[in-house]
């Protein structure tokens, strides 16, 4: 959505995760998109010689909100900065009216410039390299996904592995049940330690090989956005072929991988596609637009998505039109796989394809998070402060963008399916992939997502566990954790 010659150099969406906690102590975690530098007027940034005092950093945040916030009438201007000991708590108080209206669920926040740049440009992070969910019924942590280049995978930890105890050494292991009983789920993130290279933990794990203790040291690793194991493949059964693409996050290093995946689909004549966004919290709108282009063969110049700023910033309004490339295909049918961790840029892609595919498109799994708004970023460089402020709303070519309650209600033939952590991602036996293949092959869906959400099973936390894992997220997520809920 970038526009040359405009003050907004690039515009990106934020990621959200319903079951997490972050961005100032609420019930959700906010995410970010890629680096954007905008100079507000008046500039709140002091001269380089000024100290990075709390007061100056708060003033910077307030100036950004005053100039760019998408919901200017939903700001509490009576909040006193001196009543707050952190920049984030001050921001949360300022935008509390918008939060109460379900418009800004901790989507506006302050983060580190250096950390965010490293994540969006290179996919770099530090930690064990797994996505963790909390299983309250089993009183354990379950692994939803493991990154191949990270320490946990090297130690034999993969999707479906259960962590039942955590310690700094073998002599002080505490069970997950005892940690949660004493400190709540926040105690788990504390027990796992900071995501700094060299931080080591002893984990008691259970998987098909039995129960054992492993020692894992956190390290820097690459967040490969499309897994070499299962990220892009063609599934053939019953004489038909289905393209499968699992995109973990929208970062620039995904671009070439996406092109290669769609080029392969095209070369093999595959037009029935499964796009697995189940844990994708969003990221760069430029990568989301690229996905649209890769599914836009024959649609050159047609409207893919729209971006709308507040009234006095309407000069920044933008749109993206399909720009097919040599790798682009014209999908016949698409089955998107989603959960409550599917947000932001993922939702933009799903929503933007809906007007073109209609009933030839479905959402499989669970309802998405519901975030039709995004942020720009403004930097206070001398303090390594990047202010992510909700500044725009998105919509598809039909002008539809009001999906704060998720996309399932907008998709008439959505199909409820579980997220079976006992089966590898990319495996056609996995429940959501099985349901997606069913749709693409012409089978009727047994239960719509909206109907499943209203049923008695949805009211039972234990019954929900496989359908939608509760991602474990720290109170102050990193840039990577904002886009990849549950990452440690």
Tell me, what's the pLDDT at 468? 56
Largest CA distance in the chain: 69
Going by their DSSP bridges, the two strands 162-167 and 200-207 should be labelled as: antiparallel
pLDDT of residue 19: 21
| Angle in degrees, CA 284, 71, 484, rounded to 5 | 30
**pLDDT (0 to 100) of residue 123:** 61
SS3 53: coil
Question: Is residue 205 within 8 Å of residue 162, measured between CB atoms?
Answer: yes
Residues 283, 304, 122, CA angle at the centre, nearest 5°? 25
User: What is the model's pLDDT at position 248?
Assistant: 96
Residue 120 structure tokens: 């969006």
CA angle 59, 60, 65 (to 5 degrees): 95
Cβ contacts of 47 within 8 Å, gap of 6 or more: none
Q: How far is CA 101 from the centre of its chain?
A: 22
Which pTM was predicted?
0.85
Above pLDDT 90, what percent of the chain? 74
Q: Pull the structure tokens for residue 271.
A: 């037009």
Smallest Cα–Cα separation from 103: which of 346, 288, 311, 374? 374
Q: Are 120 and 283 in contact (CB under 8 A)?
A: yes
Query: Residues 259, 267: contact at Cβ < 8 Å?
Result: no
User: Residue 122: its pLDDT value, please?
Assistant: 65
For 152, phi then psi, to 5°, come to -65, -45
Residues of the chain with pLDDT under 50: 1-49, 455-467
| Listed residue (311, 336, 302) closest to 406, CA to CA | 336
Domains and CATH numbers, the chain: 12-122 (no CATH), 124-222 (2.30.42.10), 232-305+313-370+395-460 (3.90.226.10)
**DSSP letter for each residue of 311-351:** GGGGGG-EEEE----TT----SEEEEEE-TT--THHHHHHH
In the prediction, which pLDDT does 91 show?
Answer: 97
Distance of CA 271 to the CA centre of its chain: 26
Residues 14 and 282: beta-carbon distance below 8 Å: yes
Residue 452: per-residue pLDDT: 67
Residue 256 CA from chain centroid, whole number? 20
The pLDDT of residue 34 is: 34
Whether the CB-CB separation of 415 and 425 falls below 8 Å is answered with: no
Quick one: pLDDT at residue 47? 44
pLDDT value for 376 = 92
pLDDT tens column, 54-69: 999 999 999 999 999 9
| Predicted pLDDT at 24 | 29
């Amino acid at each position: 959505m970038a526009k040359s010659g405009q003050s907004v150099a690039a515009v990106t969406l934020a990621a959200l995760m319903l079951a997490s906690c972050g961005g100032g102590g609420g019930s959700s975690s906010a995410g970010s998109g890629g680096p954007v530098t905008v100079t507000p007027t008046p500039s709140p940034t002091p001269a380089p010689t000024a100290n990075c005092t709390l007061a100056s950093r708060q003033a910077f945040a307030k100036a950004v909100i005053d100039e760019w916030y998408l919901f200017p009438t939903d700001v509490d201007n009576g909040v006193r900065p001196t009543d707050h000991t952190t920049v984030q708590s001050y921001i949360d108080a300022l935008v509390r009216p918008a939060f109460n209206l379900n418009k800004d669920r901790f989507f506006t926040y302050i983060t580190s410039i250096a950390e965010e740049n490293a994540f969006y440009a290179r996919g770099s992070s530090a930690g064990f390299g797994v996505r963790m969910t909390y299983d309250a019924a089993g009183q354990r942590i379950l692994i939803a996904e493991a990154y191949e280049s990270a320490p946990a995978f090297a130690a034999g930890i993969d999707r479906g592995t259960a962590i039942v105890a955590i310690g700094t050494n073998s002599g002080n292991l505490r069970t997950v049940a005892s940690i949660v009983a004493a400190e709540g789920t926040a105690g788990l993130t504390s027990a796992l330690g900071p995501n700094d290279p060299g931080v080591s933990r002893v984990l008691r794990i259970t998987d098909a090989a039995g129960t054992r203790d492993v020692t894992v040291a956190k390290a820097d690793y690459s967040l490969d956005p499309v897994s070499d194991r299962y990220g892009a493949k063609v599934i053939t059964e019953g004489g038909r072929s289905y393209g499968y693409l699992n995109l973990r996050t929208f970062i620039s290093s995904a671009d070439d991988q996406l092109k290669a995946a769609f080029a392969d689909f095209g070369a093999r004549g595959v037009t029935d596609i499964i796009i697995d966004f189940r844990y994708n919290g969003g990221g760069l709108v430029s990568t989301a637009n690229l996905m649209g282009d890769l599914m836009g063969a024959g649609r050159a110049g047609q409207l893919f998505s729209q971006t709308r700023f507040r009234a006095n910033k309407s000069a920044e309004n933008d749109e993206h039109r399909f720009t097919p490339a040599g790798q682009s295909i014209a999908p016949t049918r698409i089955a998107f796989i989603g959960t409550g961790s599917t947000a932001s840029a993922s939702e933009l892609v799903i929503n933007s394809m809906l007007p073109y595919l209609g009933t030839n498109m479905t959402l499989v799994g669970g309802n998405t998070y519901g975030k039709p708004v995004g942020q720009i970023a403004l930097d206070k460089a001398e303090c390594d402060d990047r202010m992510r402020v909700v500044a725009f709303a998105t919509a598809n070519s039909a002008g539809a963008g009001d999906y704060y309650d998720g996309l399932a209600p907008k998709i008439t033939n959505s199909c409820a399916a579980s997220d079976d952590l006992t089966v590898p991602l990319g495996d056609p036996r996995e429940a959501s992939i099985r349901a997606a293949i069913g749709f693409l092959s012409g089978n009727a869906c047994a239960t719509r997502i909206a109907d499943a959400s209203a049923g008695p099973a949805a009211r039972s936390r234990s019954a929900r566990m496989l359908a939608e894992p509760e991602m474990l997220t720290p109170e102050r997520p990193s840039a990577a954790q904002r886009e990849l809920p549950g990452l440690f």
